Amino acid sequence: MNIIITKNYDQMSSEAYNIVKELLIKKNNAVLGLATGSTPKGLYKNMIDDYKKGAVSYKNVCTYNLDEYVGLGKGDKQSYREFMRAYLFNHIDIDLNNTHLPSGKGDLQKACDDYNKKLEAEKIDIQILGIGANGHIAFNEPGTSFDSVTHIVNLTPKTIRDNARFFDKLSDVPTQAITMGIANIMKAKKIVLMASGENKANAVYNAIKGEITTSCPASILRTHSDVTYILDEQAASKLKLGESK
């Protein structure tokens, strides 16, 4: 397990980009596992800026996102599909046909099964993760089995409140989502978890120092053979010093 502690959010984002760039240079048909939320926005900005400089291309890159809200999808501003277009896909040369998210509309069980089939057929090179303030990864809330694959989830009141900032009002936040399961995430060759800000410090502490328990879904990542945590000082504030790499 690697832990990189950075001064701030911007440095966290560029450290994460260094890892992604190394892969893109080595493998032009890389498979990226992507996340939404505030945390990866800076990474995506680095990806766009470097693309615009001509340093990298996404022509043959394929992406799989972690999750999608139930009831939202293409054309819905708050859907994760549109988030990805706004913050990344619209600004790079990726083929949208190579960008995958679970479908939050229509037959939801079929959407889960279809997404699982796709994930079984692929090997994600780098999975980017944020972390919820309650230790969730993707939308795998505390209590989710470590063996879980793509499934429908009821969001906890805390997650609904935390994500309300992306919506006009609290009651607009969907109460369910479709998420990659923890087993899907653990299949990635490499995992990069980013965290920024003091409100993540407890979750980060539990993930890295606490028990490995479904009460903190991110704690299972420690058993992965290639996981890197990139934390800004505030997110790392509950860890003892001397562990940074």
- Exactly one of 100, 136, 151, 224 is catalytic; name it: 136
15 within 8 A of 6, measured Cβ to Cβ: yes
Q: Rounded to whole angstroms, how far apart are CA atoms 202 and 235? A: 8
Report the nearest approach of ligand GLP to the CB of residue 141 (Å): 9
| Sequence-distant contacts of 49-57: CB under 8 A, at least 24 apart | 50/17, 50/21, 51/91, 51/92, 51/93, 52/91, 55/21, 56/21, 56/24, 56/25, 57/24, 57/28, 57/93
Cβ partners under 8 Å of residue 162, min gap 6? 132, 133
Q: Which is nearer to ligand GLP, 39 or 116 (CB)?
A: 39
> Both tokens of residue 197?
């800000």
Closest residue by Cα to residue 1 from 201, 166, 243: 243
Report the nearest approach of ligand GLP to the CB of residue 197 (Å): 8
Closest residue by Cα to residue 163 from 46, 240, 67, 44: 67
- Exactly one of 134, 163, 184, 206 is catalytic; name it: 134
Catalytic residue status for 28: no
Q: Which is nearer to ligand GLP, 36 or 56 (CB)?
A: 36
Q: Which is nearer to ligand GLP, 56 or 180 (CB)?
A: 180
Report the nearest approach of ligand GLP to the CB of residue 74 (Å): 18
Report the nearest approach of ligand GLP to the CB of residue 231 (Å): 13
Catalytic residue status for 141: yes
- Exactly one of 15, 67, 125, 232 is catalytic; name it: 67
Report the nearest approach of ligand GLP to the CB of residue 37 (Å): 3
Binding site for ligand GLP (CB under 6 A): 35-39, 66-67, 130-132, 138-139, 159, 163
Q: Which is nearer to ligand GLP, 23 or 33 (CB)?
A: 33
Q: What is the sign of the dihedral through the CA atoms of 98, 9, 168 and 164?
A: positive
Catalytic residue status for 116: no
Catalytic residue status for 100: no
Q: Which is nearer to ligand GLP, 56 or 63 (CB)?
A: 63
Q: How far is CA 165 from CA 68, 133, 161, 169, in A?
A: 16, 14, 8, 8
Cite the active site residues.
Answer: 67, 134, 136, 141
